[in-house]
């Protein structure tokens, strides 16, 4: 029988559950504090009697996720988690320790239906949406990882304090399309803001361009950051690598995105993964990273308040793309900058642990076959 997840209980439900174990009301407050810190098991709850911890372990579980695998990059800056949900589905989240704080990249779905030709996440298809609590639990996994014993009894500070072991930034850029699960994503963001004090402007939602979802974010009215996974400056090219473009064309996506950023006076983030292909001689030829496409991208974004993140492709065995050379990446960036487009090359993190979206989940699935 599946054990109940105490994190999912309201305070009243938790109090009632513990009363059934003949526990006083104050135990619910103690356990809630541990759950809100991300305690992965009852053994971690140091101020709970040992016999009660053992009893709770036999009849319940703490969080709606459990760690199946954890990988640390050699430089110590990136930790990637493979997590299992209560129904056996698996997701990923990534903790990145940066100069500006501790950032966590979370998944919004188990799998993905977008079918982007360069991505590992979509290879296993979409299994289901995540609940708001399942998304929030990923933050707690990272929070627990960050906090050593000396921080476990300290409150979480507004906007996060890296020196206090806090998560300070959130990017909803992991497995899945957030705006196919918009209401649960909104619920998660609201809780991250209210329970952890993470400011709206430290939270980023990345989308392939689900126009109704962007419209919902406009209606919602919170001043979060929006990132568009663009990856091509024309409908023809974008439809080749992102099938969703056949439903939501580039003009409609960008129109909705500009209206969102104008409403909130925010800079739009443009994600652009740089791809090559192997020719018959095994040489890499540029695909969406040619000087011509750089000019087209410049025209599309001219005069707009945006920042282009250029992303060197992280190889996926099942995909037939190749990574452009460092020189090609810099030439593409230089062309955009020359045309007045704010541009940066995203620093590669965790390449030694397969930190690209969906890689750990995919590799784990393959290892079971």
Q: pLDDT per residue over 123-132, tens digit each?
A: 889 999 999 9
In 3D space, the residue among 295, 309, 299, 293 whose CA is nearest the CA of residue 342 turns out to be: 309
Quote the pLDDT of residue 208: 97
Q: What is the distance between the alpha carbons of residues 349 and 8, in angstroms, rounded to a whole number?
A: 33
> Average pLDDT of 133-159?
75
**Is 357 designated active site?**
yes
Quote the pLDDT of residue 303: 96
Quote the pLDDT of residue 306: 97
Q: pLDDT digit string (tens) for 12-47?
A: 999 999 999 999 999 999 999 999 989 999 999 999
Q: What is the distance between the alpha carbons of residues 212 and 179, in angstroms, rounded to a whole number?
A: 8
Please tell me which residue in 93, 112, 119, 357 is annotated as part of the active site: 357
Quote the pLDDT of residue 256: 98
Q: Indicate if the pLDDT at residue 368 is higher than 80.
A: no
Q: For residue 263, give Cα distances in angstroms to 46, 56, 105, 230, 231.
A: 47, 48, 25, 21, 24
Q: Indicate if the pLDDT at residue 361 is higher than 80.
A: no
CB 105 within 8 A of CB 85: no
pLDDT confidence bin for 365, thresholds 50/70/90 = low
Q: In which residue are the tokens 């919902």 written?
A: 216
CB 303 within 8 A of CB 259: no
The token pair at 85 is: 């949900």
Quote the pLDDT of residue 76: 84
pLDDT confidence bin for 148, thresholds 50/70/90 = low
Lowest mean pLDDT among 79-93, 150-164, 180-194, 309-323: 150-164
Q: What is the distance between the alpha carbons of residues 315 and 275, in angstroms, rounded to a whole number?
A: 10
Q: pTM score, two decimals?
A: 0.91
For the chain, the C-alpha Rg in angstroms (whole number) is 22
In 3D space, the residue among 294, 304, 257 whose CA is nearest the CA of residue 274 turns out to be: 294
pLDDT confidence bin for 358, thresholds 50/70/90 = low
Q: pLDDT digit string (tens) for 328-339?
A: 999 999 999 999
> Average pLDDT of 180-208?
96
CB 176 within 8 A of CB 121: yes
pLDDT confidence bin for 140, thresholds 50/70/90 = very high
pLDDT confidence bin for 82, thresholds 50/70/90 = very high
| Contacts with 323 (C-beta within 8 Å, 6 or more apart), sequence order | 274, 276, 284, 312, 313, 314, 315
Q: In which residue are the tokens 């399309």 written?
A: 177
Q: What is the distance between the alpha carbons of residues 143 and 39, in angstroms, rounded to a whole number?
A: 9
Q: Which domains does the chain have, with CATH numbers?
A: 6-59 (1.10.150.530), 65-367 (3.20.20.70)
Lowest mean pLDDT among 58-67, 116-125, 210-219: 116-125
Quote the pLDDT of residue 261: 95
Quote the pLDDT of residue 150: 47
Q: Indicate if the pLDDT at residue 57 is higher than 90.
A: yes
Q: pLDDT digit string (tens) for 306-354?
A: 999 999 888 777 778 888 999 999 999 999 999 999 999 987 665 655 6
Q: pLDDT digit string (tens) for 240-276?
A: 999 999 999 999 999 999 999 999 889 999 999 999 9
pLDDT confidence bin for 87, thresholds 50/70/90 = very high
Please tell me which residue in 13, 77, 92, 105 is annotated as part of the active site: 92
pLDDT confidence bin for 75, thresholds 50/70/90 = confident
């Amino acid at each position: 029988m599946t054990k109940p997840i105490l994190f999912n209980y309201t305070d009243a439900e938790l109090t009632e559950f513990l009363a059934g174990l003949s526990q006083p009301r104050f135990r619910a407050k103690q356990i809630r504090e541990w759950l809100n810190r991300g305690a992965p098991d009852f053994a971690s709850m140091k101020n709970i009697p040992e016999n009660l911890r053992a009893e709770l372990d036999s009849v319940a579980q703490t969080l709606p996720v459990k760690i199946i695998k954890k990988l640390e990059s050699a430089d110590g800056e990136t930790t990637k988690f493979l997590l299992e949900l209560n129904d056996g589905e698996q997701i990923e989240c990534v903790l990145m320790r940066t100069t500006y704080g501790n950032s966590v990249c979370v998944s919004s779905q188990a799998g993905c239906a977008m079918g982007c030709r360069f991505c590992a996440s979509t290879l296993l298809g979409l299994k289901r949406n995540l609940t708001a609590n399942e998304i929030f639990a990923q933050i707690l996994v990272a929070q627990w990882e960050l906090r050593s014993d000396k921080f476990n009894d300290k409150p979480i500070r507004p906007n996060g304090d890296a020196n206090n072991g806090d998560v300070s930034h959130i990017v909803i850029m992991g497995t899945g399309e957030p705006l196919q699960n918009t209401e649960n994503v909104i619920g998660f963001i609201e809780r991250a803001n209210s329970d952890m004090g993470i400011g709206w402007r430290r939270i980023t939602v990345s989308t392939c361009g689900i126009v109704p979802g962007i419209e919902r974010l406009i209606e919602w009215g919170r001043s979060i950051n929006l990132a568009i996974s663009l990856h091509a400056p024309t409908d023809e090219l974008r439809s080749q690598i992102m099938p969703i473009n056949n439903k939501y064309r580039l003009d409609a996506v960008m129109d909705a995105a500009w209206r969102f950023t104008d409403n909130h006076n925010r800079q739009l983030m443009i994600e652009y993964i740089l791809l090559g292909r192997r020719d018959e001689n095994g040489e890499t030829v540029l695909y969406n990273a040619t000087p011509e496409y750089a000019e087209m991208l410049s025209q599309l974004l001219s005069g707009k308040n945006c920042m282009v993140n250029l992303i060197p492709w992280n190889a996926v065995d099942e995909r037939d793309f190749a990574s452009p050379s460092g020189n090609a990446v810099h030439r593409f960036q230089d062309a955009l900058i020359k045309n007045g487009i704010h541009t940066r090359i995203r620093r590669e993190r965790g390449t030694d642990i397969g930190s690209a979206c969906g890689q750990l989940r995919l590799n784990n699935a393959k290892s079971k076959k």
